[in-house]
Chains A and B, each alone.
Chain A
Amino acid sequence: MTDLVKHKLDVIENADPFGRSGIDDPWHAFRNVERLDMELHFQFKHSLGKVSPFFLALEEKRLLATRCPECGKVWMPPRVHCGDDLAITDWVEVAGTGILEASSLSAYTLTTGGGKDTLILGYVTLEGTDTAMLQQIRNCQDPGKLVPGTVMTVKWATEPVDHPMQLFWFELAD
């Protein structure tokens, strides 16, 4: 193997996935496979769109839901059109307490696996809203206490974060 190709990962002699060998393998002349190390990079100027006031308000430790003027349903996460009747909604500020619907302790995150980092995700219906919101649950030593129906409270980040959704999380209410 030369090192003339910088992205060459390896060359492998593949077995036939059906277990044939020699001249019984119709692909015997095609079994020497070269693999390359490849990456693909994307960069975006990602617009958060019409719901941006929700994300901007998080920087001021405020939670904005939307209320439908037609049916009165309060959506959290907010929707700019009512998800039931398509009326354009109004912003309403809601309190930072809610009811836990379900939770799960994960040994995986988006980028790590196998227990390197653990994560608790839960659905919480905030007081005054009609839908449940997914968010992280932190500082919970005993996941057994996360029984559906338990009161949860919002906590706010004080250090800079990468994404506005990381500006808050839920904890068990005192």
Chain B
Amino acid sequence: MSAGEDIVVLGGGLTRFARERSDGTPIDWMVEAALDGIRDAGVDPAEIEHSLVAYESEILARQLSMGQVIQDALAFCPRPSIRVEAGGGTGGAAIRTAYAYVKSGLCDSILVVGCDAVGRGVTSATVREVYALSGDVDFEMAAGGFFMAYYALMMQEHIRLYGTTEEQMAHVSVKNHRNAQSNPMACMPMAITIDDVLNSPPVVAPYKRLDCAVLADGASSLVIATESWARQHASSWRDRPRVYLTGVGCGTDRVRLGDRPKPYPGLAHFRAKKEAAQMAYRMAGIENPRQDLDVAEVADTYTGAELQAYEDLGFCDYGQSGPLTERGVFDLGGELPTNTSGGLIGQGAPPGAMGLAQAVEVLKQLRGECPKERQVEGARRGLTDIHGGTASFSVVSILERRD
């Protein structure tokens, strides 16, 4: 056990994200993703010291204590394990918890595996109702509130404050669906236009169907370890670019939007995200995120949420996310390509898997292993941003390549 060492992301794995994965159970997908990550790390699974299982809703998976079930399925018994949950931010919480476990010396290596089963195996009304339980239940849910509406209300305020347009929001949808086209794991690869988004059926104003990430089935994994464990145990250590986890920040905000302080964050801003980002930037020594980062996976539950995120992550000034997006700053080939995987909109949004999947994408970007259509040339430093609720809980992580 060696506390305080630098922390390495040794491997990342995915299974196919899809609207319905009736070909297997959530346990099956998790094993697929875990084995893919272990293979990618080049380690013997019998030597990994710990596991961490990330999922939001055991009810929707019809399996409680999934951490214990997956431990069994992966032949990890009797080694230690922990389950982590933070709503949509579960994957971020998992990365930060794994960092703490290896940094503290509690273990030197950990397999992180996440999933959720929210595709068509369960009705979308059931998912909406169960997820509404993750916000304010007795006042807001009882008044008819649900998460799509909360995000829509935030964006109405962003539009009022800054004149953000539905075309600018649509640009995010076009970009993320387009990026997903070179991602074989993605569930929504699409070549669409701004007009397609604007003309898609209304959901909750200002959002239309193509502004929204889709609920999906899927699983993902990471292998995280100390540098010395990686050197001793990973066949990938000698012949692959090395990627370190250099910043893990976390922030929170009040659950009800109406209780948040005014003018900041008010209804329109993600204070938790700003807190998490600044913490991660301090750890990683980042001063100007748009310059210092080469690639970013940003929480795009809705197109507008991605724009709001740019501002609180410090990629641009408040009110500038829309105009910069229209200018292509965040497209592939732009100054800071975002959601090269397709993001939640293009790749799919199983809560427990999506935050880890972001790190898998950044890891492959930094190693130069993405398909050429979406590879950001010479990427050295990347960010992941994921949150739960209306960013009542938020985690930002920084990954960095060191040769």
Contact = CB atoms under 8 A, between A and B. Distances in A.
Interface of A: 12, 14-18, 27, 31, 33, 35, 38, 40, 48-49, 51, 55, 75, 77, 83, 101-115, 119, 121-123, 125, 131-136, 143, 148, 163-166
A148 B204 contact: no
6 contacts: A101-B267, A108-B204, A123-B257, A132-B258, A134-B139, A164-B142
Interface stretch (B149-157, B321-329, B339-347): B149-157
Contacts of B202: 105, 107, 115
B184 A106 contact: no
B28 to A, nearest CB: 9
Given A106-B204, A115-B202, A121-B149, 8 more contacts: A18-B184, A104-B205, A108-B204, A109-B146, A110-B141, A121-B143, A133-B258, A134-B143
Interface string B127-149: 01100100010111111111011
Contacts of B142: 163-166
B267 A104 contact: no
Contacts of B258: 77, 101, 123, 125, 131-134
B59 interface: yes
Contacts of A33: 22-23
Contact of A102 (B62, B139, B141, B267): B267
B21 interface: yes
B256 A106 contact: no
Given A107-B204, A108-B204, A111-B125, A14 B145 contact: no
A104 B18 contact: no
Contacts of A131: 256, 258-259
Interface of B: 15-16, 18, 21-23, 59, 62, 121, 124-125, 128-129, 132, 136, 138-146, 148-149, 152-153, 156-157, 160, 184, 201-206, 254, 256-259, 267
Contact of B22 (A14, A18, A143, A164): A14
B23 A14 contact: yes
B265 to A, nearest CB: 13
B20 to A, nearest CB: 10
Nearest to B268: A102
A134 B149 CA distance: 10
B203 A106 contact: yes
B156 A104 contact: yes
Contacts of A125: 258
Contact of A114 (B141, B201, B205): B201
Most buried by A among B136, B144, B204, B206: B144
Nearest to A106: B204
A136 B143 contact: yes
**A-B CB proximity, top 10 nearest:** A132-B258, A165-B142, A14-B23, A17-B16, A106-B204, A104-B152, A77-B139, A134-B140, A105-B205, A165-B143
B203 to A, nearest CB: 6
Nearest to B161: A148
B215 to A, nearest CB: 12
A134 B256 contact: yes
B160 A106 contact: no
Contacts of B128: 108, 110-111
A81 B389 CA distance: 22
A129 to B, nearest CB: 10
B149 A104 contact: yes
B144 A119 contact: yes
Contacts of A143: 205
Contacts of A106: 148-149, 152, 203-205
A166 B145 CA distance: 12
Contact of A113 (B125, B157, B256): B125
Contact of A121 (B18, B121, B124, B144): B144
A104 B125 contact: no
B138 A48 contact: yes
A110 B21 contact: no
B148 to A, nearest CB: 6
Contacts of A108: 128, 146, 148-149, 203-204
Contacts of A119: 144, 149
Contacts of A109: 144, 146
A126 to B, nearest CB: 11
Contacts of A35: 22, 121
A119 B128 CA distance: 15
A38 B205 contact: no
B24 to A, nearest CB: 8
Contacts of B160: 102, 148
A121 B23 contact: no
Contacts of A164: 142
